[in-house]
Amino acid sequence: MLNRYKIIEIVNTTTVLIDYGFDEGAKSGDTLRIIKEGEPVIIDGVDYGTLDIVKDIIEVEVPYEKFSICKKITRKNINPIDPLISLQRTMTYINPLNVNRDQMSKRDVKNNSELIEKGDIVVLTNE
């Protein structure tokens, strides 16, 4: 079971405070998921946990004793020597898997379009 924390304050559109500080091992660069707990996944009588909605992924920027300042941080590699780098784009595709269609559950897997709110659950994943 992952340790659960929560958003204690929304500072602005780029910064939140969570109740995870260096008293609990927080360090700069820790990665966390902001989630909304989803429906239980029970297959053949085995409880696998819940299929949570991942609202976003944030990173500890500055840990304090009992809380941390967190932001959504994106890193990209830029080659300052190559003037054509601005023309390059990274495309992402989701490709189909070769699955047995008769065994598909057609479970509703929700996207991450939910708003982040004070009190939301946050779990340390370091993904």
Tell me the sheet residues that pair with 52.
none
C-alpha pair distances (Å), 58 with each of 71, 75, 102: 5, 13, 38
In tens, the pLDDT along 59-100 reads 999 999 999 999 998 877 666 666 666 666 666 677 777 878
Question: Which amino acid, residue 4?
Answer: R
Evaluate the CA torsion angle 126, 36, 116, 106 in order and state its sign.
Answer: positive
Q: Which residue shows structure tokens 């939301």?
A: 120
Q: Region 95-114: what's the mean pLDDT? A: 75
pLDDT band at 103 (very low <50, low <70, confident <90, very high): confident
Q: Region 107-115: what's the mean pLDDT? A: 74
The pLDDT score that the predictor gives to residue 114 is 81
Q: Which residue shows structure tokens 């009190």?
A: 119
The pLDDT score that the predictor gives to residue 79 is 63
Q: Which residue shows structure tokens 């700069």?
A: 28
In tens, the pLDDT along 35-68 reads 999 889 999 999 999 999 999 999 999 999 999 9
Q: Region 108-119: what's the mean pLDDT? A: 80
The pLDDT score that the predictor gives to residue 104 is 75
* Number of CB atoms found within 10 A of residue 44's CB: 4
Q: How far apart are CA 111 and CA 50, in angstroms?
A: 15
The DSSP letter of residue 13 is T
The pLDDT score that the predictor gives to residue 25 is 95
pTM equals 0.77
